[in-house]
């Protein structure tokens, strides 16, 4: 069985004052029956990890460099993330693919570095609005899966997040049937490539305008094991409502 996971991506948001939201979450979820993850900006990762300690919330980074070290000004290696207390790293988010021109090959190299450093790689895939309208969504997702996911992954070291680009931060979400189609397709491709022991245990997250009002309906989908949440993860109350929906799913 794939682990249920509620993952929050704070993106370029959060300062020291935001750590109070973590205190509220720790108080609300001392023993959750699903995984909880926060990926804060790099400036907060070590402080957040120390604040949580051995608590039930995991931390992670929003990106990493493929190299272990070197002359890469402004970048962070997977080993540095591990050293700062992180357990996960998001790679291939559509905002990285779009804003920084990241290809599938770059994403794959980052995922390989993450796994090699002992992190769980959250590999993001998703189509643009134009690709959805042209009817090539599954072709796009299939290409991204093949090109972005390394060969040496397991159900413990890999999470796949489906984030339709046109739904991120827009308030729009695909229909339930569209989510079912893509998540079933991803699951089938993972089983085909890695076998049932791995393919059925990789957590599949849906991302793209997930909020308290629609979380329960999304989590009722068979191959949706959780969510990668943006803005709604910044406040403990909002993220808590999504966590509650996942625990009840």
pLDDT above 90 for 172: no
Q: Please determine, for residue 1, whether its predicted confidence score (pLDDT) is greater than 90.
A: no
Per-residue pLDDT at 170: 83
| Burial of residue 46, with CB atoms counted within 10 A of its CB: 0-12 exposed, 13-18 middle, 19 or more buried | middle
Six token digits for residue 110: 């980052």
Q: Is-above-0.85 flag for pTM? A: yes
Statement: residue 32 has pLDDT above 90: yes
CA–CA gap between residue 234 and residue 10 (Å, rounded):
6
Catalytic residue annotation: 93, 163
Q: Is the pLDDT of residue 198 over 90?
A: yes
Domains and CATH numbers, the chain: 5-248 (3.20.20.70)
In whole numbers, what is the pLDDT of the chain averaged over residues?
97
For 114-170, the pLDDT digits (tens) are 999 999 999 999 999 999 999 999 999 999 999 999 999 999 999 999 999 998 888
Dihedral pair phi/psi, residue 142, rounded to 5°: -60, -45
pLDDT, residue 231, reads 94
111 vs 130: CA distance, rounded Å:
27
């Amino acid at each position: 069985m794939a682990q249920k996971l509620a993952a929050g991506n704070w993106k370029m948001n959060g300062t020291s004052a935001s750590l109070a939201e973590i205190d509220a979450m720790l108080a609300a979820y001392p023993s959750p029956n699903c995984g909880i993850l926060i990926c804060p900006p790099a400036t907060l990762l070590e402080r957040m990890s120390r604040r949580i300690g051995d608590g039930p919330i995991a931390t992670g980074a929003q990106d990493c460099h493929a190299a272990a070290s070197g002359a890469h000004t402004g970048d962070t290696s997977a080993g540095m993330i591990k050293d700062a207390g992180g357990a996960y790293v998001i790679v291939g988010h559509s905002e990285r693919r779009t804003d920084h021109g990241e290809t599938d090959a770059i994403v794959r190299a980052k995922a390989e570095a993450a796994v090699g450093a002992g992190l769980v790689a959250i590999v993001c895939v998703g189509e643009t609005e134009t690709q959805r309208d042209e009817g090539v969504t599954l072709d796009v997702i299939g290409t991204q899966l093949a090109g972005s996911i390394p060969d040496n992954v397991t159900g413990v070291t890999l999470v796949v997040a489906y984030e339709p680009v046109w739904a991120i931060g827009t308030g729009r979400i695909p229909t339930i049937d569209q989510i079912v189609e893509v998540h079933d397709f991803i699951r089938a491709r993972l089983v085909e490539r890695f076998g049932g022991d791995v393919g059925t245990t990789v957590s599949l997250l849906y991302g793209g305008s997930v909020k308290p009002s629609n979380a329960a309906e999304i989590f009722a989908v068979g191959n949706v094991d959780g969510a990668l949440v943006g803005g709604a993860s910044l406040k403990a109350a909002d993220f808590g409502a999504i966590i509650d929906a996942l625990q009840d799913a």
